[in-house]
Amino acid sequence: LQVTVANPQVVALLFQPVLLRCHYQTLATDPPIVTWKYKSFCPTTTSSTSSGGDNGLVSSPGEGLEATSGCPDGARTVRIVATKRGDVVTVGDFYRGRSVTILGEAELSLGPAAWGDSGSYTCTVSTTQDLQGNNEASAQLVVLGE
C-alpha cells in the first residue's frame, strides 16, 4: 500500500472550491476505506495579544508547516472530514450541509473554502488485504481572504 498527496502545500482563496488530491496504490482487490481527517494548525508559542486579531493561530503556510508537528492533538481541533468505502461517502458532522465529498479514488472536495478550513488534512487508506507500506499522506491548506 502506498499513499501520496500530489500537492502537500495548498493555498486557496476564501469562497473558492478546494480539491486536495490523494492517490493510492494497493494490491487489495476489495475497495479500501479512505478517510480524510482535519487538524487545525498549532497555536503559536508567542503571545498574540500585542499583534491583535490573530487569536494566536498560525495563518501562513511556512509557519503552519513548522507548527503542525510541534504540538499534541489535544492542543488543536481534530475531526473527520469524510470517509469513503466503495461508492459510499459519509461526511463528518461538522461538514454536513456543506459541499464536501470524496471524488474519484480519494480526492477531497471542499466546495467553497471557509475561514476555518486552514489546517492539516491527512488522507488515510485502510485495507485488511494490504498491510505493508505507507497508508497515509498529508497536505497543508491555507485559506486567504484576498
Give the largest CA-CA distance in the chain: 56
Q: Count up the domains in the chain and report the number.
A: 1
How confident is the model at residue 102, as a pLDDT? 98
CA distance from start to end of the chain = 39
Using the predicted structure, report yes or no on whether residue 122 has a pLDDT greater than 70.
yes
Q: What is the pTM of this model?
A: 0.82
What mean pLDDT is predicted for residues 84-112? 95
Nine cell digits for residue 71:
504540538
Residue 65 lies in a domain: no
Return phi, psi of residue 67, to 5°.
-85, -20
DSSP states along 32-96: PEEEEEEEPPPBPSS--TTT-SSTTB--SHHHHHHHTTSS-GGGS-EEEEEEEETTEEEE-GGGT
Q: What angle do CA 26, 28, 31 make, to 5 degrees?
A: 95
Residue 47 lies in a domain: no
Residue 52 lies in a domain: no
The tally of CA atoms less than 13 A away on the side-chain side of residue 12 is 26
Using the predicted structure, report yes or no on whether residue 120 has a pLDDT greater than 90.
yes
Residue 79 lies in a domain: yes
Cβ neighbours, 10 Å, residue 103: 12
What is the phi-psi region of residue 97: left when phi exceeds 0, alpha when psi lies from -120 to 50, beta otherwise? left
- Structure confidence by residue, pLDDT tens digits, 70-80: 788 888 999 99
Residue 70 lies in a domain: no
Name the residue range of residue 106's domain.
2-42+75-143
Residue 12 lies in a domain: yes
- Structure confidence by residue, pLDDT tens digits, 14-71: 999 999 999 999 999 999 999 999 999 988 755 433 333 333 333 444 443 444 567 8
Q: Assign residue 13 the CATH number of its domain.
A: 2.60.40.10
